[in-house]
Structures are given as structure tokens and as C-alpha cells.
Structure 1
Amino acid sequence: MKDSVKVFAPATVANVVCGYDVLGFAVNQPGDEVVMRLTGKTGITISKITGDDGKLPLNPAKNTVSASVQHYLDHIGKPDLGIGIELHKKMPIGSGLGSSSASTVAGLFAVNTLLNDQLTNKELVPFAMKGEELACGYGHADNVAPALMGGFVLIRSYEPLDIISLPFPQDLHAAIVYPEVDVPTKDARQMIRSKVLLKDAVTQWGNVAGLVSGLFMNDYGLIGRSMTDILVEPTRSILIPDFAILKSLALEHGALGFGISGSGPSVFALTRDAGTAANITQKLQQHLKGLAINSLSFVSEVNKRGPIILD
């Protein structure tokens, strides 16, 4: 049995426009890294966190990585096992790209690796959801499930938890732009309407079904016209500078569809190829620069692997 491991876990795009809390996919970059060691002592310690500008707690009870690992250790009957953790943030916090998810998933994959893969990646999802509950007050799975399992996932049900891996066109790419403005996840969730009109719900159900069907059928046209959200995006988009203009730019330059990644402020487009995705990120960043807003961009195919061992 190894006594140390270094793991990378990927960022994710949750909701995928119309699939609020039930759809998500993983991307190759960015992501987070965790170094984990068996210490031979009692309990979990966090010795180092880098890349977070001092925002994340070293207290194991308050950090999503250590808290999720503790739930895992309780489950397998080793609650006092000595674990040392280093967390290296390689992606922006509060970006809407599953920052807490990537850290948590890296930690869970690392401890499961050290303990000889007692659970499958899919079986780790409920423990990762505990980390999301700590991070934003609600244990949703649309970030952690794709981060753990790779690819596109559908959360058909939360009670009981029912997660389905979806097929998707192999050439599908994501163009992601993160405008460096502050949109806290908790605040973004609180903006969402608690009640919706039945006719709006029917429209949304049709779009979710259309998007899933388009992924199965490799039907780019169906994917694109299903990427419409009339329930959440109209409210959340208010928090993103010039969202409507960014959306128009992406669609004009070949995007299949465009929307908010997670709770924002990151936005994303799905495209047929990497070249189109790269061009779209350039156009979006150029517009944001004109607004005096700094941004980061990422172009990625859909990540099929989930977390990986680096060392």
C-alpha cells in the first residue's frame, strides 16, 4: 500500500444551461491538486494550502477536502486514521467552475487510492456532496459527479441518488471565459425563484430532454436549440456584465449554445471543434477588456477521465 499520492481533479460546468442541478460535464482544465500522506498519527491535518490567497481554512472541520475525507473514513470504519493533506488551488475560487468540487474530489480520490480503492468513483459521490454542502449550503452533485466520473452526467434523482453517465459527441468542445467579478454561489442561489409557472416548467423539461437526446444522437442542432433556460438564467445573468452581448458574440461566431457555468460568473459555449472554441474565447475576452474587466479563458474537450494520479 502506498503511503502518499498526488491527485489532480478537473473543473466542471454545472447546469449546462437548462439542467439546473441535474446536468454537468468535466473539462480538462483548470483543476486542483491534492497531495495526501498516511501520517501514522491520529486524525486529519492540513499542512499547506497554496493558490487561495489565504481564503480557505486550515481547520480540518471547516475545509471541504478534509471534511469529505472524514465522512469517507467514518464510512469505512477508520475514523481516526492519520491523514496529512496539502491542497494546491490551480483554479479560481468562486468562478462557477466547481472550485470546491475539484478540491474535494481530488481529496476523496486520493484517500480512496491510498486505501486500495475500497469504493468506486461513483460511490464516492455522496461523500463529495458533503463537501458541497459545507461550501455552499446545499449538497448538489452536478459538479462533483462529473468531476469524479468524467464526461457528461445526469442526476436523475437526489433521493435516492441516481446518477447516469451520458454519451456525447466526441468532437464537442467547451469555450470557457471567467470574468474576474465576484458572484458568490450562496448569493446566486438565493436569487432563484422558488416557484415557477407550469408553462415555464414544461418548456424547461422539453429543453432538458432535448439536450440529453441531442447528446445521445450526436445531433448538434438539437443540442444547440435545447440550450435555453427560462427559469434561472434570466435572473443570474444580471450579475454578469454584458451577458446578453457575450451570448450574441458566441452564437455569431459558431457556438452551438451559450450559458452560465454553475452559478457564474464564468460563461461557456459548446462548439463542434477546438478552433471555434478558441475563437469564441478571444472574442469574449476582447469585449470584457473593453469593459475594463480582466478574464481568464479555457478551451477544452469534454474530460472523459475524471481525477488522475500525478505522482
Structure 2
Amino acid sequence: MNKSIKVFAPATVANVVCGFDVLGFAVNEPGDEVIMRLTDKPGVSLLKITGDEGRLPLNPDKNTVSAIAKQYLAHIGRPDVGIEIELHKKMPIGSGLGSSSASTVAGLFAINTLFDSPLTNKELVPFAMKGEELACGYGHADNVAPALMGGFVLIRSYSPLDIISLPFPQDMHAAIVYPEVDVPTKDARQMIRSKVFLKDAVTQWGNVAGLVSGLFMNDYDLIGRSMTDVLVEPTRSILIPDFERLRGLAMEAGAIGFGISGSGPSVFALTKDAETAKQITQKLQQHLKNIAINSLAFVSEVNKKGPIILD
């Protein structure tokens, strides 16, 4: 038994400004890679991790990739199987781009493929949510669902889980900039108010409905004016250097809308084309450089495929 597979899974932009925990989309880069092999020795082992600067656990019960592989094997009734895993981090940890999600999804897709795909990618989402729970204490799906399914995804309900793939303008691009400052997901979640005013809730669900409608209608203006968050962004943006100035620069350069990716510190803009997205990343990176902050930038279409087999 020596079957092996190499899988790439994409980064994701969760929340999409107004859809906290219920909206997300996948991008083509960055992402993570997992190499997985079936072996004759029973049990799941994590052989090595690269690109994490030693930050991630090699203990197979504590790393999301291996822990969720174990849960998958138990689910299909094959806990006796031997699995060896290599995780190659190709994206920054704690960036707000779904780093733990990309790793978990790559591993899940790999192991499901090795067993001839008995589950659909959509059916893998609950397993991936368990990985998010292990990584950050809360099993949300706004990263893992788009990472598995590609495109834009709406989580209409968590109990029962109800996930909907949304259409979107095919020429839409994302400009993503990751300022290299530390914003742990757990800390960012703890900053969020547990109670909100009704008038703010009304504003928020109007914007969520408007954004979803704009995606269906290919209406960039509606998408743009719906990308407003009155619940989470006002608090989380405090952790991101010069957030309002970055927004101003992006909008001046032609962004449809601008906001925080996931829990941050990455920020993103939606655009109508790749060239505008590239110009936005250049302007944002230059501003961050001017205030002595290093950054990484990514320009991508909305990823339509989710995880893919590399070889």
C-alpha cells in the first residue's frame, strides 16, 4: 500500500465585510500544500511541516491536518489505515486569509481522494469545521466552505448546516495586502460585542442581502455599497495600522469595496479587473512601507475550483 497524492488548497477571504461568519470566497493564491501517503503501518503520522517557522505542532492529535484525517478515517470505518502527512505552508499564519482552513482542506481533500472520494466536497465541510475549532476555538465555515467548494459561499445556517454556492461576476478580482503585524484570530474574536443594537442589526442584514443580490445581478455598484460593516469592522480595524487611510487609497484607485479579510490584519479590495487590483496592492504596499511596515500582496480572480491535485 504505497499510494500518495499532493494537493493544493486555496486561501480565502471570510466575512466579505458585512457577512460575519456567513460569507466567504476563495482566491487562487496564496494557499497550502499537503502530501499524503497510505502506508502499511496503522495510524496517522505527521512527518514534517515547512514554511511555519516552527509555530505549528507536529503532534498528530494537535495539528488540524492530521487530527481531522483521523476523524475522517473513523467516519469511513477505516481507523486501521496508515497515513503519512507532509504539510507545506505556502501562506502566512495568522494573516486573516484562512491559513488553518487551507491546511485542513488540503488534507481532507487528499485523504478523501485516496479513498476514491466517497464524500463530496460539500460533505467534507463539517470535518473541516472541526479543524477550525481545533485551530481557533470556534468551528466556523466561512473559510473552509469556500476553500472546499470554490467561489463565493453563503452559510445560511449553522444548525442545521445549510451552505449555498453563490454566483458572482466572472471578471471580479481581489486585491489582498497582508501587513506583517500580529492579530491572533482568538484575540480578534474576543473583541467583538456579544450584543448589538437593533438599528445596527437592521443595517447589517440589509447589507448582507444587498451584497448577495449584487452578486446574483452582476451589479458592481450594489456590491460596493453593500460592503459596509457596522458590527465588527469598527472594532477590529483598530488593530490594523492606518486602516482608514488604506481604505481611502483603495477606493481612490478604483476599488468596488474594501475591508478586512477574516479577522485581519490582511485587507482586501474587490475590483472589476486584474490591473486595478494590481494598482491597489502597489499603493497600499507603498503606504505601509512609508510607515515602516512590511507587507505581502496577492492579486487573484475568485477561485472557482477549490482544492486541486498537483501530482
TM-score interval for Structure 1 and Structure 2 normalised by the shorter chain: over 0.9
Mapped to 2, the partners of 1:112 and 1:206 lie a distance apart of 38
Q: Deviations over 1:49-93 (max 9, x none)?
A: 000000011100000001111111111111231100000000000
Q: Which residue of 1 aligns with 2:257?
A: 257
CA distance in 1, matches of 2:2, 2:261: 36
Tell me, yes or no, if the aligned pair for 1:177 and 1:284 is still in contact at 8 Å: yes
Q: Who is 2:267 aligned against?
A: 267
Partner deviation per Cα, 1:118-177 (whole Å, 9 max, x = no partner): 100000000000100000000000000000000000000000000000000001000000
**1:184-230: per-residue Cα shift (whole Å, max 9, x none)?**
00000000000000000000000000000000000000000000000
Instruction: Give the alignment's TM-score, normalised by structure 2.
Output: 0.99
* AA at the equivalent of 1:139: G
1:197 and 2:175 are equivalent in the alignment: no
Q: 1:35 — aligned with what?
A: 35
| Per-residue Cα deviation, 1:223-250 (whole angstroms, up to 9, x for no partner) | 0000000000000000000000000110
Question: Is the 8 Å Cα contact of residues 270 and 277 (structure 2) preserved in structure 1?
Answer: yes
Distance 1:163 1:83 in 2: 30
Unaligned 5+ runs, structure 2 = none
Counterpart amino acid of residue 240 in structure 2: I
Aligned length: 311
Correspondence for 1:143: 143
Aligned to 1:59: 59
- Aligned match of 1:153: 153
Identity of aligned residues (%): 85
Q: What SS does the corresponding residue of 1:41 show, helix, strand or coil?
A: coil
1:14 matches 2:14? yes
CA contact (8 A) 2:34 2:86 kept: yes
Alignment of 1:286-301 (within 5 A): 286-301=286-301
Contact 2:49 2:88 in 1 (8 A): yes
| TM-score w.r.t. length of structure 1 | 0.99
Structure 1 SS opposite 2:157: strand
Aligned to 1:106: 106
SS of the equivalent of 1:284 reads: helix
CA deviation digits over 1:15-44, x for unaligned, max 9?
000000000000000000000000111110
Alignment of 1:1-311 (within 5 A): 3-311=3-311
Q: Are 1:4 and 1:38, in contact at CA under 8 Å, matched by a contact in 2?
A: yes
Cα distance in 2 for residues equivalent to 1:283 and 1:2: 49
Q: Secondary structure at the match of 1:48?
A: strand
| CA positional deviation for 1:2 | 7.3
Letter in 1 for 2:38: L
SS of the residue corresponding to residue 79 of structure 1 reads coil
Q: SS state of the match for residue 28, structure 1?
A: strand
**Given that residues 176 and 281 in structure 1 are in contact (C-alpha distance below 8 angstroms), is that contact kept between their aligned partners in structure 2?**
yes
Runs (4+) of structure 1 exceeding 6 A deviation are none
CA contact (8 A) 1:2 1:114 kept: no
Aligned partners of 2:13 and 2:262 also within 8 Å: yes
2:2–2:39 contact (8 Å) kept in structure 1: no
Letter in 2 for 1:173: H
Q: CA RMSD in A?
A: 0.8
**Structure 1: how far apart are the matches of 2:52 and 2:62?**
15
Q: Whole-Å Cα distance in 1 between the matches of residues 184 and 291 of structure 2?
A: 21
Distance 1:73 1:236 in 2: 38
Q: Which amino acid aligns with 1:113?
A: T
Match for 1:136: what amino acid? C
